[in-house]
Chain A
Amino acid sequence: MTSHMTSSVRNSKMATHLSCGRVNLNILREAMRMELREFLDKCAGSKAIVWDEYLTGPFGLIAQYSLLKEHEVEKMFTLKSGPLPSSDVKNIIFFVRPRLELMDIIADNIQREERGRFPQRDFYILFVPRRSILCEQRLKDLGVLGSFMHRDEYRLNLIPFDGDLLSMESENAFKECYLENDQTSLYQAAKGLTTLQSLYGTIPQICGKGECARHVANMMIRMKRELGGSQNQITPVFDTLLLLDRNVDLLTPLATQLTYEGLIDEVYGIQNSHVKLPPEKFAPKKQGEGGKDLPTEPKKLLLNSAEELYAEIRDKNFNAVGSVLSKKAKIISAAFEGRHNAKTVGEIKQFVSQLPHMQAEKASLANHTSIAELIKEITTSEAFFDNLTVEQEFMSGFDTDKVNPYIEDCIAKKDPIIKILRLVCLQSVCNTGLKQKVLDYYKREILQTYGYEHILTLHNLEKAGLLKLQASSRNSYPTIRKTLRLWMDDVNEQNPNDISYVYSGYAPLSVRLAQILVRPGWRSIEEVLKILPGPQFEERQSLPPGLLKKRQQGENKVILVFFLGGVTFAEIAALRFLSQMEDGGTEYIIATTKLISGTTWIKSLMEKLEPPPF
């Protein structure tokens, strides 16, 4: 009992970053944990979990190993073909995404197990985020469906990442929705929103822009009807849901993010709130051990708002991070100096009691100073500067209609292909398509330099609208740019007064749409909305009488912005900036199918063709 209690205290402490915001996302996390516990308790006795490896990251945000251990999970394996590792547990549970290729592996595992002379074990399967008839049929065809004691689904649709951030971590959502017309992830999104409504109340207003947005809203309304007469009796926490298709704003993710968190993601890649960094900078500096025992494993750090310092700097423009770090360094060393002033026993006692907190702060500062140094090496390089210059030229509408010499040089030097694709796509988007001559030139250059197999990737980018032929001679981007004030010349990176600081001049289109929706309303930009793809809409969901919120004076509205197809950290930073604006009157919670950067996004659209082995 005691051990259970202490661990639950510990767990709740680990999720403090979820409950600090306006909407307590810990409720969602707790609901997810509860569901997991209930499933685990259905399989009585000791158990081993066989993991679909992709799931371990997202699961880590919901439950640590300690929770699993409390429910008699003794072993964990990675799902792979061949015999299961031996273990003397009573139950084997497969945690998998509903994918046919995984079913084949599971069937192989089970058949080997059943052929063996091991004591018979009970098999279970937990589909995340949902059961699939197709997969169960495959298991049946392979003759192992009957081997499962129980099959269930774990509706892990929206995973809380931070106090204001939810993600489905559905890796291919954009590709599936916009290229393949497979709307499975949109269905999951609607399911996730339905769960959210069951915990946080019916959202009275749903707005959106884009085909996918419309589809999700329709499904949400339908699912609500399916739930039947039961009226949700929870006072709504969210006032509005804003659904945005990623293809309404294809531009933003292509640009290099310039916030601290955005740059960490651009350079090192953040996965499930974790980042892996080169270890050299983090070597413990001890005297007399110079150069010896340098760590070779990458340094893995958890990045979320639970860390005070990170919460403060994550959304700042990188150029404003240095001053915060040095200020912080002074404060901390002053605090440590405080021990000399502590004279009385009481004072010393107080100092000692603060010591752990101070030490944690010191470690945090050391880490971020190291990261900032690593990033600075890159941002001050000529290559970075040149790349950024070209990006900014495109976004501000300069020379977008001809072959760009910098891109040409980069191809000639065979820079990484993703960099090239990002730039070419950015140019295409900022010019509402490229002229035939320009487009063909780029394509030929890319194919010759990087290989003809990339023809499929180029086709994909065209299908997604990232690359296109200019249909008419009219370029509509300048209209959009001017109406939405996407380019701000007088950007203030240190003390920003506009969201354009996150890209040092460019204000993300998606976030502008969210901003304008609140004030002065979308009616003011109808012309632009017509140019942007997909329908725009507004729905109202009826609430049971008595639940209509009477807003306290000075109480902010809460808007849930759902990015269908992915969102970048810079966009998140921009929305957080809007939440914090004193006269904003609105707080934003962000949800998405996947946290993306330009690189991961383009990568998901690339076709990986490999020559047959010789």
Chain B
Amino acid sequence: MDFYTANWYPMGSVYYRKFDCYRMEWDLRDGFRECLVAAGPYAGTVALMRNYCAKPGRPILEIYSAAGVLLSSIPWKSGQVVHLGWTLTQDLVCIQEDGTVLIYDIFCAFKRHFSLGSEVKQNQVLEAKVFHTEYRTGIAILTGALKFTVASNIDDVKLRRLPEIPALRGPPTCWTVLFNDRVPLVLAAVGPDLYLLDNTSCTAVTLPGMSPLAGSALQMAVSFNYKYLAVFTDTGYIWMGTASLTDKLCEFSSDLRQAPKQMAWCIRPGSRNIALALMWEKLIFLVGRAREGVHFPLDEPSFIVPELDGIRIVSSSTHEFLHEIPKVTEDIFKIASMAPGALLLEAQKEYEKESQKADDYLREIKDQNHLSDAVENCIEAAGYEHAPEMQKSLLRAASFGKCFVEKYSPADFVTMCQDLRILNAIHDYQIGIPLTMTQYKQLTIQVLLDRLVLRRLYPLALKICEYLKFSDFQGVSRILAHWACYKVQQKEKSDDEIAQAINQKLGDTLGISYSEIASRACECGRTELAIKLLEYEPKSEDQVPLLLKMKRSNLALAKAIESGDTDLVYTVVTYMKNEFNRGDFFMTLQNHPVALSLYRQFCKHQEPETLKDLYNQDDNHLELGNFYVRSSYGAEKRVEGRVAELQNAVEEYNKAKSELAARATEDQIKLLRNQRALQDKVDKPYLDFSLHDTVYNLILDGMHKKAEQLYKEFKIPDKRYWWLKISALAEKEDWEELEKFSKSKKSAIGYLPFVEICMKHQNKVEAKKYIARVGIEQRVKAFLLVGDLDQAAESAIEHRNEQEMNMVLSRCASAADNTIVEKINRAKSLILKK
């Protein structure tokens, strides 16, 4: 432990340390010569393309884990690659000279490609860079015509050509991508000048606080979070400042003149210190605010990978991590530190030795009231340690210390133990994901699980989910589903075998979507397997679309109908309508009444003519009749056209043996023709009146003969004709005609309606004329109608009808009616006596 700080390097007041992550598994005899290299952020995989520009022999694309374990490789058969990069979702982006961009997954499986357009193709890609914003990956390229093109999202490629740099003779010495409010910009160095290119303009810029004599920029680097920019010039001057080009943070003058091969920021989030690593063939040089930099000699050619909280240094034999030592770690481990954490660590060690010094240390911390701080510091520091022994001793110290703190909440301690356990598991060289705690927290456990799934490390992912007690829905199901999707691609196994294996493992786990797995099987061309898998899918709304995609429309229709979900049935029906010929389509519908009914509904609103065809096919004459009736009210305006439609209806109704409907429709035709003729004769619309209203209007218009004719022709029942006629005459106030009519023959409805109708038109005088002819049984009612209470009472008494008497009584309201009331009551008592 005495040597704990042996790999610490002070730069000013800040310490940096470099430690080994892995001895690399790979075998790279020639180092990285003739190689394109790309390593993904967050401890991602490493892609190598060997012999990438060698004329004889094919290039080979290889993908390794961060520990140098080969994951996959393919001979490269496509064009000349200029640049390799990783997306945030761990896809490999290969940018070719001809402007084609190919995307591969980590198993060298081709996913897709896109082109950067004909102009790029013509001028070729000179240089390219892959960059990341929070959720997206973008690319920037420099063409042979010395123009920049940027696509800020490779998932939705929209090319932006940036303005030209004026009077440019050769390519810029160096360039990089910056951001202004999420819009990517290009900063390019041409000789001593710097230009900033945005969408519309090219602006010459100077770096604040940089001497004009500092020389021309040879290399530049943007920090991981795109906040800082560093520039190295041919005078050995290094400028470090904000990427917004507004502030200088510090500068450094070195005696190196040659451009570094790579440059990367080495910063810890939340720390106020800054540092920049510059790499040459045999050296990494770390500079910051301090007057002196730190030299790290390199034994072998290497490359550096910028990370959130440091840099990774990968060579043919090792994988190292260089980072700034966090404050808590420094406090605990700095030689002769008296910080609470340091004391607690000591106390615990003494305690293990059963020395009473333990108590002394502990007392010292407690006296200063720093025990909880000490515990917290030890927990936090454990997270920054790569070696499990160190993690353990710090956690032991924390565990020891927390026993002496009252009501200490163990949550932080438990979480740290869990997190470290996960990190140590993925650090294993067979997994090869050397995430630091800081990176892990930024990446989140969900993304880590996704990455494990992507690596097909299903068992580990499952273990982690179980360990963290994730709900099935959040964890296990998702991973199993991915596993199953991978499983269906195994071509050597039979459909049955795979379907069974999948169902056995997945069962009815909540949140598993069999349709997703089936969909993957379908994509791999395994339709039968997909159908088998779909049988396990309980949700019809997921089954049906996929069955349609596989052209199993009959099965899809059956499933849709089974579900009762009419929208699904419609989906299948619409599909069939487009795919089948009409005959087959109708035949299929015939066999599925539910689908047929729904399709009829659709046709009723959208395709009336098809509806007719459907009814024709069924020999459904009644509906055909209805159909023609409906169309006689449709667009057709001419009476003859409408008559023709109705004629069709009559025919169909006859075939349907619906006699009444046929006759009624014939009558309708007759009526329409009559109305047409009438309309021509008198200047008044008659069309589409009902028969009743037609006759009524004829009477209103005084055409009694015509009315009489229709009454006979259409066999209107007498009762109704009488009602109709007296109503019309009363409305017309043709009292003379009314009286004439009443005397023409015996009324079919009696004479009370005459009284009623006169009263309805407030003509008491006329009303009274008919009372005498009202039948005895209704006379009281008639008197009441005209308001003659006296007579009503007389009648009622005469009839000795108690009900009638009561009716009269109920109308007696005013005092004037008192005599009537008395009269009736007398009569009633007389009846009672009998």
Contact = CB atoms under 8 A, between A and B. Distances in A.
Nearest to A184: B566
Kindly name the residue among B574, B714, B720 whose own CB sees the greatest number of chain A CB atoms within 10 A.
B720
B645 to A, nearest CB: 11
A153 B606 CA distance: 24
Interface in A75-128: 98, 100-101
Interface in B741-762: 749
A222 B574 contact: no
A453 B645 CA distance: 13
A133 B570 CA distance: 8
A228 B597 contact: no
A472 B757 CA distance: 42
Nearest to A458: B661
Contacts of A408: 717, 719-720
Interface residues of A, number: 53
A169 B720 CA distance: 40
Q: Chain B CB within 10 Å — which of A218, A443, A447 has the most?
A: A447
Nearest to A451: B690
B671 to A, nearest CB: 7
Interface stretch (B63-71, B409-417, B627-635): B627-635
Interface stretch (A29-37, A237-245, A339-347, A605-613): A605-613
Contacts of A228: 508, 510-511, 538
A182 B691 contact: no
B713 to A, nearest CB: 12
A134 interface: yes
Interface in B621-655: 622, 626, 629-630, 633-637
B629 A453 contact: yes
Contacts of A187: 564-566
Contacts of B714: 448
B456 interface: no
Given A181-B593, A452-B671, A611-B633, A134 B570 contact: yes
A8 B667 CA distance: 64
Most buried by A among B593, B597, B689: B597
Nearest to A454: B690
A219 interface: yes
A448 B668 CA distance: 9
Given A182-B566, A412-B719, A610-B633, A450 B626 contact: no
Interface residues of B, number: 60
A190 B660 contact: no
A443 B660 contact: yes
Interface string B574-615: 100000000000000000011001101110011000000000
Interface in A572-614: 607, 609-612, 614
B724 interface: yes
A440 B622 CA distance: 16
Contacts of A181: 593-594, 597
Given A180-B600, A451-B690, A452-B690, A133 B538 contact: no
Contacts of B601: 176, 180, 182
Given A101-B605, A180-B597, A614 B563 contact: no
B570 A230 contact: no
A459 interface: yes
Interface string A32-70: 000000000000000000000000000000000000000
B664 A447 contact: yes
B727 interface: yes
A134 B571 contact: yes
A226 B539 contact: yes
Interface in A422-454: 440, 443-445, 447-453
B422 interface: no
A609 B642 CA distance: 13
Contacts of A350: none
B665 interface: yes
B567 A130 contact: yes
B629 A448 contact: no
A186 interface: yes
Contacts of A101: 605
Contacts of B562: 222
Contact of B727 (A132, A133, A413, A607): A413
Contacts of B570: 132-134
A12 interface: no
A447 B749 CA distance: 21
A190 B566 CA distance: 12
A228 B514 CA distance: 12
A476 to B, nearest CB: 25
Contacts of A299: none
Interface in A203-239: 215, 218-219, 222, 225-226, 228-230
A132 B567 contact: yes
Contact of A440 (B510, B635, B660): B660
A352 interface: no
A133 B622 contact: no
B537 to A, nearest CB: 9
B720 A449 contact: yes
Contacts of A607: 630
A612 B593 contact: no
Contacts of A447: 664, 667, 690-691
B191 interface: no
A134 B560 CA distance: 14
Interface of chain B, main secondary structure: helix
Contact of A182 (B538, B597, B668, B693): B597
A411 B601 CA distance: 33
Contacts of A132: 567, 570
B412 to A, nearest CB: 32
Contacts of B281: none
A11 B402 CA distance: 50
A196 B634 CA distance: 44
Interface in A402-417: 408-409, 411-414
B538 to A, nearest CB: 5
A40 to B, nearest CB: 24
B359 interface: no
B702 interface: no
B685 interface: yes
A524 interface: no
A240 B319 CA distance: 68
A34 B350 CA distance: 59
A183 interface: yes
Most interface-central of B562, B637, B664, B693 (chain A CB within 10 A): B664
Contacts of A180: 597, 600-601
B660 A452 contact: no
A372 interface: no
A453 B633 contact: yes
Q: Could you say which of B564, B600, B664 has the most chain A C-beta atoms within 10 Å of its C-beta? A: B564
Interface centre among B509, B687, B692 (most CB of A within 10 A): B692
Contact of B716 (A219, A448, A459): A448
B723 interface: yes
B688 interface: yes
B665 A455 contact: yes
Nearest to A130: B567
A483 interface: no
A73 to B, nearest CB: 28
A142 interface: no
Contacts of B691: 447-449, 451-452
Nearest to B566: A184
A452 B668 contact: yes
Contacts of A452: 664-665, 667-668, 671, 690-691
Contacts of A133: 567-568, 570-571, 574
19 contacts: A132-B567, A133-B567, A133-B570, A133-B574, A176-B601, A180-B600, A184-B566, A219-B563, A222-B562, A226-B540, A409-B719, A414-B692, A445-B720, A452-B665, A453-B633, A459-B626, A611-B633, A611-B688, A612-B637
Given A98-B567, A130-B567, A453-B633, 15 more contacts: A134-B602, A181-B593, A184-B567, A219-B563, A225-B538, A226-B540, A408-B720, A444-B660, A447-B667, A448-B714, A449-B691, A452-B665, A455-B626, A455-B661, A607-B630
